Amino acid sequence: MYSRARYYYVRKETVDINKDLVAASATPLVLAILSEGDSYGYAIVKRVSELSGGDLQWTDGMLYPVLHRLERQGHIKGKWGTSETGRKRKYYHLTARGQAQLAQQCQQWQMVDAALRNVWPAASLLIRSALSPLPSHG
């Protein structure tokens, strides 16, 4: 259901983001993007890429199940419309229930972020050594 996203460390080494993390972050990302204004699938995919500096590359197959679930839950509402080019597309907007969910998600992610920021300095030496090339013995 969820594709693996790519993330680049400062050293530009490619690392796969665990599918569980991609899935967990999908709801707050979609809700936050829709808090900026109404949008449609392809534009949401492009916005995720833009927000991540190109590191997160979502697919339609990953996004649309999230949009359908959020619509069923009443967090977003979709409405068919026509683009400037005459193409039919479904535009989504955030509902009042979705705004409340976004506020909850924001609080939860801020708590997780704070906890990780508190523990990462202690793990920084281990992280640096894991990212460093192994010394040659010979």
Delimit the domains of the chain by residue range.
5-131
User: Residues 66, 30: contact at Cβ < 8 Å?
Assistant: yes
Which segments of the chain does DSSP mark as H helices, in order?
19-35, 41-51, 60-72, 96-131
Neighbours of 56 (CB within 10 A): 20
Question: What would the mean pLDDT of 41-60 be, rounded to a whole number?
Answer: 93
Helix (H, G, I), strand (E, B) or coil at 92: strand
The pLDDT value given to residue 121: 87
Is the domain spanning 5-131 CATH 3.30.230.70? The answer is: no
Q: Which residue has the higher pLDDT, 138 or 92?
A: 92
Mean pLDDT over 13-25 rounds to: 81
Tokens 């009042």 correspond to 96
79-95 pLDDT, tens digit per residue, is 999 988 999 999 999 99
